[in-house]
C-alpha cells in the first residue's frame, strides 16, 4: 500500500472514531454541516472543470429537500426511497436546465442559472399549498430506522447516526468524483475548460460532457437537500437563496478550483472559521471577508495552490542540501 493510501485509511478511521471521543453534540453538528458543504463544493467544482460557473446550486439543494419532504409527508414514502428519488429527480431537472443554458458561456450562463435559482425560490414562496410558502415546512420526520441483524435497529434520534450516514454519502461522492475526474470523462472536461473549440476539433462532444457534469452535480445537490431536510426537520425558501450558491463558490475559490482537495479544504476552512470568530461576532463578517480578500490577492490558486508551492520549495531545498552534501564528501575524498 502506498503512503498516500495509508494516510487516507488513517484519516477515515479517525473520522469514524470522532463520535466516540466527543460528547459535545454541537461539534458533531458542525462536522455534519461541513460534510454537506464538501459534497456540494465537490459537485460544483466538477461542473466548473468545464469552464461553467452556475449560480443555482442552492436551488437544486432546495428541490431535493422539498422532493424528499413531500414524498415522505404527503405520500408516506420511506426516507430510504424518497432520498434516491430526490437525487434522481434533481439530476433529471439538471439535464433539462442544462441543455439550453450550457450552450451559452461566461456571465450569460451565470445570469441564466441565477434566474433559474430565483424562479425556484419564488415558486417555493408562491405555491403555499404545496411548499408551505414563506413559512416553509416544519415537523419533517427523521429517517426510518435501519434494522441490523442480531444488533437491533439504528434510530435517527441523535446526531451521531446522521454523522455516520453523511460520512458514507461523502465517501461515495468522493469515490465517484475521483473516478470521474481521473477517467476519460475528466480529461475531456479539462480539455473543454482549457479550450472548448480545440476540444471540439478533436472530436469531444462538448455539450454532452457539460450536461453530464451538470447532472452529476445536480444529483448530489438533491441528495444533500434530502438529508438536510430530515436532519433539520424544517425547510423554507430562506434556506436556498442566491447567497447560499455564492457561498459554495467561495468554498472552491478559497480552497483552489480544479482540484479535489481544494473544495474539501475550502469547505472545512470556511465552515470552521465563523465558529472560531464567535468571540468577535460583531466583526465576524468583516474578518470573513478579509480572509477571502487575502486569499484572492496572495493565493490566487487557493490554499491547495499555496500548499503545493511550499511542498515544492521544501523538496527543492532538500534536493539541494543532499546535492551539496554529496559534492562536499566527493571533494574530501
Express each pLDDT in 230-284 by its tens digit: 999 999 999 999 988 988 988 898 888 888 888 999 899 888 877 776 655 566 6
Tell whether 233 is covered by a domain. Answer: yes
pLDDT-based confidence at 314, cuts 50/70/90? confident
Inter-residue contact 60 to 282 (CB < 8 Å): no
Of 296, 266, 247, the closest CA to residue 55 belongs to 247
User: Is the model's pLDDT at 331 over the cut of 60?
Assistant: no
Q: What is the distance, to the nearest Å, from the Cα of residue 206 to the centroid of all Cα atoms in its chain?
A: 24
Higher pLDDT, 215 or 273: 215
Report pLDDT for 287. 66
Report pLDDT for 256. 85
* Mean of pLDDT values over 152-157: 86
Please report which helix (H) or strand (E) contains residue 197, including its range: helix 196-201
Domain membership of residue 129 as a residue range = 18-253
Task: Say what angle helices 242-255 and 25-48 make with each other, to 10 degrees.
Answer: 80
Number of structural domains in the chain? 1
Average pLDDT, rounded, for the chain: 87
* Mean of pLDDT values over 125-134: 92
Inter-residue contact 31 to 54 (CB < 8 Å): no
How far, in Å, CA of 317 to CA of 310, rounded?
10
How far, in Å, CA of 134 to CA of 122, rounded?
9
Report pLDDT for 200. 86
pLDDT-based confidence at 51, cuts 50/70/90? confident
Report pLDDT for 319. 62
Q: State which of 117-131, 136-150, 183-197 shows the largest mean pLDDT.
A: 117-131
Tell whether 321 is covered by a domain. Answer: no
Report pLDDT for 295. 75
* Mean of pLDDT values over 181-196: 90
Report pLDDT for 146. 86
> Over the Cα atoms of the chain, what is R_g?
22
Report pLDDT for 174. 94
Of 144, 16, 172, 146, the closest CA to residue 87 belongs to 172
Report pLDDT for 13. 87
Tell whether 295 is covered by a domain. Answer: no
Report pLDDT for 285. 64
User: Is the model's pLDDT at 306 over the cut of 90?
Assistant: no
Tell whether 107 is covered by a domain. Answer: yes
Tell whether 264 is covered by a domain. Answer: no
Report pLDDT for 210. 94
Q: Residues near 264 by Cβ (< 8 Å), separated by ≥ 6? A: 38, 41, 42, 255
Tell whether 41 is covered by a domain. Answer: yes
User: Is the model's pLDDT at 226 over the cut of 90?
Assistant: yes
User: Is the model's pLDDT at 333 over the cut of 60?
Assistant: no
Report pLDDT for 240. 94
Tell whether 310 is covered by a domain. Answer: no
User: What percent of the chain stands above pLDDT 90?
Assistant: 55
- Calculated CA dihedral for residues 116, 121, 122, 127, nearest 10 degrees: 120
* Mean of pLDDT values over 303-324: 72
Least confident of 60-69, 91-100, 297-306: 297-306
Report pLDDT for 329. 57
Tell whether 307 is covered by a domain. Answer: no
Report pLDDT for 288. 65
The residue whose grid cell reads 458542525 is 30
Least confident of 28-37, 68-77, 234-243, 245-254: 245-254
Distances (CA, A) of 138 to 70, 107, 133, 236: 11, 37, 12, 9
Of 217, 240, 212, the closest CA to residue 228 belongs to 240
C-alpha cell at 109: 450562463
Amino acid at each position: 500500500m502506498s503512503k498516500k493510501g495509508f494516510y487516507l485509511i488513517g484519516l477515515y478511521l479517525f473520522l469514524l472514531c470522532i463520535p466516540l471521543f466527543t460528547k459535545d453534540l454541537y461539534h458533531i453538528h458542525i462536522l455534519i454541516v461541513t460534510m454537506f458543504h464538501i459534497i456540494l463544493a465537490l459537485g460544483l467544482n466538477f461542473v466548473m472543470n468545464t469552464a461553467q460557473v452556475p449560480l443555482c446550486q442552492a436551488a437544486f439543494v432546495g428541490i431535493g429537500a422539498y422532493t424528499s419532504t413531500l414524498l415522505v409527508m404527503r405520500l408516506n414514502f420511506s426516507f430510504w426511497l424518497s432520498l434516491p428519488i430526490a437525487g434522481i429527480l434533481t439530476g433529471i431537472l439538471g439535464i433539462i436546465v442544462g441543455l439550453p443554458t450550457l450552450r451559452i458561456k461566461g456571465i450569460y450562463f451565470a445570469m441564466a442559472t441565477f434566474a433559474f435559482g430565483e424562479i425556484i425560490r419564488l415558486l417555493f414562496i408562491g405555491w403555499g399549498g404545496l411548499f408551505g410558502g414563506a413559512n416553509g415546512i416544519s415537523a419533517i420526520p427523521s429517517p426510518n430506522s435501519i434494522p441490523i441483524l442480531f444488533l437491533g435497529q439504528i434510530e435517527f434520534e441523535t446526531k451521531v447516526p446522521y454523522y455516520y450516514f453523511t460520512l458514507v454519502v461523502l465517501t461515495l461522492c468522493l469515490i465517484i468524483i475521483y473516478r470521474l475526474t481521473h477517467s476519460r470523462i475528466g480529461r475531456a472536461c479539462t480539455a473543454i475548460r482549457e479550450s472548448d473549440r480545440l476540444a471540439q476539433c478533436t472530436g469531444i462532444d462538448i455539450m454532452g460532457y457539460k450536461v453530464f457534469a451538470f447532472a452529476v452535480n445536480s444529483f448530489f445537490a438533491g441528495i444533500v437537500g434530502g438529508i438536510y431536510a430530515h436532519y433539520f426537520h424544517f425547510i423554507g425558501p430562506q434556506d436556498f437563496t442566491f447567497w447560499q450558491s455564492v457561498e459554495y463558490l467561495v468554498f472552491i475559490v478559497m480552497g483552489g478550483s480544479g482540484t479535489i482537495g481544494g473544495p474539501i479544504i475550502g469547505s472545512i476552512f470556511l465552515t470552521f472559521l465563523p465558529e472560531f470568530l464567535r468571540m468577535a461576532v460583531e466583526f465576524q463578517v468583516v474578518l470573513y471577508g478579509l480572509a477571502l480578500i487575502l486569499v484572492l490577492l496572495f493565493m490566487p490558486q487557493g490554499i491547495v495552490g499555496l500548499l503545493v508551492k511550499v511542498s515544492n520549495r521544501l523538496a527543492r531545498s532538500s534536493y539541494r542540501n543532499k546535492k551539496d552534501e554529496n559534492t562536499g564528501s566527493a571533494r574530501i575524498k
